[in-house]
Chains A and B, each alone.
Chain A
Amino acid sequence: MEKWERLLIGGLGVFAFLVLWEIATPLGLVKVADISRPSLVVKAFYELALSGEIFPHLVISLKEFIFGFLLSLIVGIPLGVFLGRYRILSLILDPLLMAIYTMPRMAMLPLLVVWFGVGLGATISVVFLGAVFPILVNTAVGIREIDPILIRAVRSFGGREWDIFKKVLIPGTIPPMMAGIRLGVGRGLLGMVLSEMYASTEGIGGQIALYGNSFRSTELIALIAIVSLLGFIAVDIIRRIEEHVSRGRREA
Chain B
Amino acid sequence: MLDHIIINKVTVIFSRPSGGELIAVEDFDLKVQKGEFVTIVGPSGCGKSTLLSVVDGLILPISGEVIINGKPVKEPGHDRALVFQEFALLPWRTVEGNVMLGLELHKKHTSSQMKEIAQHYIQMVGLQGFEKHYPHQLSGGMRQRVGIARALAVNPDILLMDEPFAALDAQTREIMSVELLRIWEQDKKTVLFVTHSIDEAVYLADRIVVMSGRPGRVKEIIPVNLPRPRKLSVKDEHHFVQLRRHIWNLLEEEVKREAGGRG
> Interface of A with B (CB < 8 Å)?
147, 149-150, 152-159, 163, 167-168, 171-172, 174, 248-252
In the bound assembly, the distance between CA atoms of A189 and B175 in angstroms comes to 58
B84 and A153 form a contact (CB under 8 A): yes
Interface residues of B (CB under 8 A from A): 56, 58, 75-78, 80-82, 84, 86, 88-92, 94, 101-102, 104-106, 134-136, 143, 154
19 residue pairs of the A-B complex, CB under 8 angstroms, read A149-B84, A149-B88, A152-B58, A152-B84, A153-B82, A153-B84, A153-B88, A154-B105, A156-B80, A156-B81, A158-B77, A158-B78, A167-B101, A167-B104, A167-B105, A171-B92, A249-B92, A250-B136, A251-B136
**Nearest-CB residue, chain A, relative to B80:** A156
For the complex formed, measure the closest distance between the CB of A244 and the CB atoms of chain B, giving whole angstroms.
13
Residues from chain B with a CB closer than 8 A to the CB of A158 are 75-78, 105-106
Find chain B residues with CB under 8 A from A248 CB: 94, 134
Please state if B136 and A155 are interface contacts (CB–CB under 8 Å): no
- The total number of A-B Cβ pairs within 8 Å is 65
> What secondary structure prevails in chain B residues at the interface with A?
loop
Contacts A149-B84, A152-B58, A252-B135; is A157 near B106 (CB within 8 Å)? yes
A149, A155, A167, A251: the one contacting B86 at CB < 8 Å is A149
> Taking CB as reference atom, which chain A residue is nearest B86?
A149
CA A12 to CA B161, docked complex, whole Å: 63
Is the CB–CB distance between B135 and A163 below 8 Å?
Answer: no
**Distance between Cα atoms of A249 and B134 in the complex (Å):** 7
Residues in chain A near residue B101, CB distance under 8 A: 153-154, 157, 167
Residue of A nearest to B91 (CB): A252
